Structure 1
Amino acid sequence: MTFSFTATPEFDYMAYFARHIGVEVNGHELVVPGSLGKGHIRKFLFDADFKITMHSYLLNEDLVVNRTASGQGNELITIFFYSNEHPLGITYNNDPGIHFSQRDESAIQVTSNDLSSTIRFPADQQIHYVVVAIKPARLAQLLKITAPNSVIRAITGKGNSFLFFEEMNAETKLLLKNLSEVNFYEPLANFLMQIKVQELLYLLFRKLSARESTVHQAINSADAGRLLYIRNAILSDLSVPPVLPELARMAAMSETKLKQLFKQTFGETIYNYYQQARMEEAAFLLRQGRHSVAEVGYEMGFTNLSHFSRLFERHYGLNPKKYSLT
């Protein structure tokens, strides 16, 4: 099933999706019909410029969501929290996309509404995700940061094009779980949800506001697609360090532009992002308990296991052997 829409600030996803599948919205809830699967979509409208949509369902067929930029400028911020272990694919500009999952914890996307994207939700898997939509002026009013960095200025400014990814830590995962458990029919549910959503935004923007402040580079859908392609290339073989000239050639960008846009979007340099992913994969393999420390180190491309142990301990506070026993 394919659902396509144009990303205007006034667009109501739930209402249009209900029309697309031929069901009625009951208050602020859409119940997925049995013929398509099971689950629901719920919406809390705090004001005309601030709302949250919560998705929780299992579908009988793949769902492909195509978002097309309206061409009317940037008047809405979309913040996407994906809280599933199962990966899903996000594509910009029809380029090979990024896989979202809690496995690598890079499951939060902040974007302006002038970027076109495609998200594929797999059939027969439970899907949970939350979308916060807020206008820049309202977000700036909520944050009240006296000296915002370039990331916050880009997001809350007028007419900026941006795409940022941030990791989802344990605190954010727990808060998303608490959001899903709010009694939808309780009289003060809307009030409680607004408090919790503001806390969710606090956790995210606390991290974004800590990023290094540099000159913001505008991004378009083609740039976004290339960046996700490069990210996939980096993560495809963590035993091999990234080579900047090769990545720049693959992205059809200058090395300078690639370095700037990658760090701006993902919050880390290309090499640091690779090194962090390398350590996270090593930690995952060690937690499984099916590999020795030496096997994990060699699989991650380390020929010097002492070097592997030092780097791992720098990331996790424990050497690999102790970590595998926790």
Structure 2
Amino acid sequence: MIFSFSATPDFDFLTQFSHHIGTPVHDGLMLIPGDLGQGYIRKLSFGQEFKITLHQYTLHEDLIIKRNASGLGNELITIFFYSNEQALGIAFNNTPPVLFSQRDDSAIQVTSNDLSSTIRFPAGHHIHYVVIAISPVYLAALLAIENPNSVIKTISSNGSSFLFFESMTAETKLLLKNMTAVNMNDSLSHFYMQIKVQELLYLLFHQLASRENSTHQSINNADAERLLHIRKEVLSDLSVPPVLSELAHIAAMSETKLKGLFKQTFGDTIYNYYQKARMEEAAFLLKQGKRSVAEVGYELGFTNLSHFSRLFEKHYGLTPKRFSSVG
């Protein structure tokens, strides 16, 4: 199934999607018909400039959502919370979606509505994601930060084109899970959900506020697409460190531009991003209990196991041996 729309400030996903599949909406809730799958989409509005849509469903066929740029500049901020364990695909430039999610690679994407994107959700997998749509002016008033860093200033100002990704903390994952369990028939449920959505924004902007101040580089669809491919390249073989000159050649960018845009978008340098993913993969393999510490270290390209142990302990506060033995 393909659903395409233009991301204008007055666009209502729930209304248009319900028309697309021929299913009614009652009190902001649309149930997925049995011939398509099972689950629901729910929309809550906290005013004209602040809304949330919750997606909880499993479909019998792939779902491809094409979001076309509004052509109106940054009049709306869209924040996606992807809490998925399936192979989520994302694209920004009319190309086949790039596999984004790794093992439980939940993520948060913050984007201006002048960027186009395509998201592919595979059939037969539970889809769980949340979208917050909020105007820059409303967000700035809500955050009320006296001296915001460059990232928050960019997001909460009109006119900038931006794309930021953040990892999803355990606290955010738990909050999203609890939000889906709320009894919406309760008379105070709408009020409760508004509080929880603001808590989601707090957790996200607390992360973004810790990023370094730097001059914002405007980003377009072609740049965004190249960055997704570079991220995929960096993560494709965690036993081999990334080589900047090779990545720059793949991206058709200068090394300076690639370094700047990658850090701006993903919040870390290419090498640090690689090392973090390497340690997360090591933690996963150790928890499986099928490989020794030495086997995991060698599999991830470490020739010096003492170095592997020190690096792992720096990330997790435990040595690999101790980590693998903890329940």
TM-score interval, normalised by the smaller of the two chains: over 0.9
Q: Which residue of 2 aligns with 1:53?
A: 53
Give the Cα separation in 1 of the matches to 2:136 and 2:163. Answer: 14
Aligned to 1:203: 203
**Deviation (angstroms), 1:87:** 2.5
Report the AA paired with residue 265 of structure 1: T
Map Cα deviations across residues 239-282 of structure 1 (whole Å, 9 max, x no partner): 11000011001000010000000000000000000011110111
Spell out the pairing of 1:10-25 with structure 2 (5 A cutoff).
10-25=10-25
Cα distance between partner residues in 2 of 1:231 and 1:100:
9
In structure 2, what is the Cα distance between the partners aligned to 1:58 and 1:151? 35
Q: Is the 8 A contact 2:53 2:131 kept in 1?
A: yes
SS in 1 for 2:57: strand
CA contact (8 A) 2:78 2:112 kept: yes
- Partners in 1 of 2:95 and 2:262 — Cα distance? 16
1:249 is matched with 249
AA at the equivalent of 1:270:
I
Contact persistence 1:18–1:25 (CA under 8 A): yes
> 1-side partners of 2:9 and 2:73: how far apart?
10
2:74 alignment counterpart: 74
Corresponding residue for 2:26? 26
Report the Cα distance in structure 2 between the residues aligned to 1:92 and 1:161, rounded to whole angstroms: 13
Contact 1:111 1:163 in 2 (8 A): yes
Query: Residues 39-58 of structure 1: CA distance to partner in whole angstroms, max 9, x if unpaired?
Result: 10000000000000000001
User: After the TM superposition, which parts of structure 1 deviate over 6 Å for at least 4 consecutive aligned residues?
Assistant: none
- CA gap of 1:181–1:235, structure 2 versus 1, over 3 A, is same
1:235 and 2:235 equivalent? yes
Partner Cα distance (1:83, 1:65) in 2: 17
Q: How does 1:285-300 map to 2 (within 5 A)?
A: 285-300=285-300
RMSD over aligned Cα atoms: 1.1
Alignment of 1:17-166 (within 5 A): 17-95=17-95, 97-101=97-101, 103=103, 105-166=105-166
Deviation, structure 1 residue 103: 3.0
Letter in 2 for 1:26: H
Is the contact between residue 76 and residue 136 of structure 1 (CA under 8 Å) also seen in structure 2?
yes
Partner letter of residue 59 of structure 1? L
> Any stretches of 5+ residues in structure 1 without a counterpart?
none
Cα deviation, residue 238, structure 1: 0.5
2:177 aligned with 1:177, yes or no?
yes
Matched residues in 2 for 1:283 and 1:38: separation?
Answer: 34
What is the deviation of 1:100?
A: 4.2
Match of 2:54, SS state, is strand
Separation in 2 of the partners of 1:191 and 1:27? 15
Kindly state the Cα deviation for residue 182 of structure 1 after the two structures are TM-superposed: 1.0
Q: Give the TM-score of the pair, scaled to structure 2.
A: 0.98
Residue in structure 2 matched with residue 301 of structure 1 by the alignment: 301
Residue identity opposite 2:251 in structure 1: A
Given that 1:104 and 1:277 are in contact with CA atoms closer than 8 Å, whether structure 2 keeps it comes out as no
Instruction: Report the Cα offset of residue 187 of structure 1.
Output: 1.3
Between the aligned partners of 1:237 and 1:96, the Cα distance in structure 2 is: 21
Do the aligned partners of 1:105 and 1:169 also contact (CA within 8 Å) in 2? no
Residues 1:108 and 1:101: Cα distance change in structure 2 (over 3 Å) = same
Aligned CA distance change for structure 1 residues 7 and 249 (closer, same or farther; 3 Å): same
Query: What whole-Å deviation, never above 9, does each CA across 1:55-110 have from its counterpart, x for those lacking one?
Result: 00010100111111011111000100011222210111134644444736451100
State how far apart, in whole Å, the 2-side matches of 1:40 and 1:102 are.
Answer: 25
- Helix, strand or coil for the counterpart of 1:47? coil
Distance 1:94 1:295, change over 3 A: farther
2: distance between equivalents of 1:104 and 1:320?
Answer: 21
SS in 2 for 1:132: strand
Q: Which amino acid counterpart does residue 60 of structure 1 have in structure 2?
A: H
Structure 2 residue aligned with 1:216: 216
TM-score using structure 1 length: 0.98
Quick one: distance in 2 between partners of 1:174 and 1:205? 17
- Matches of 2:104 and 2:306, distance apart in 1: 25
SS at match of 2:72: coil
Where do 5+ consecutive residues of structure 2 fail to align? none
Asked whether the 8 Å contact 1:97–1:228 carries over to 2, the reply is no
Q: Give the secondary structure class of the aligned counterpart of 1:38.
A: strand
Aligned equivalent of 2:276: 276
Inter-partner Cα distance in structure 1 for 2:44 and 2:242: 43
Distance 1:238 1:155 in 2: 32
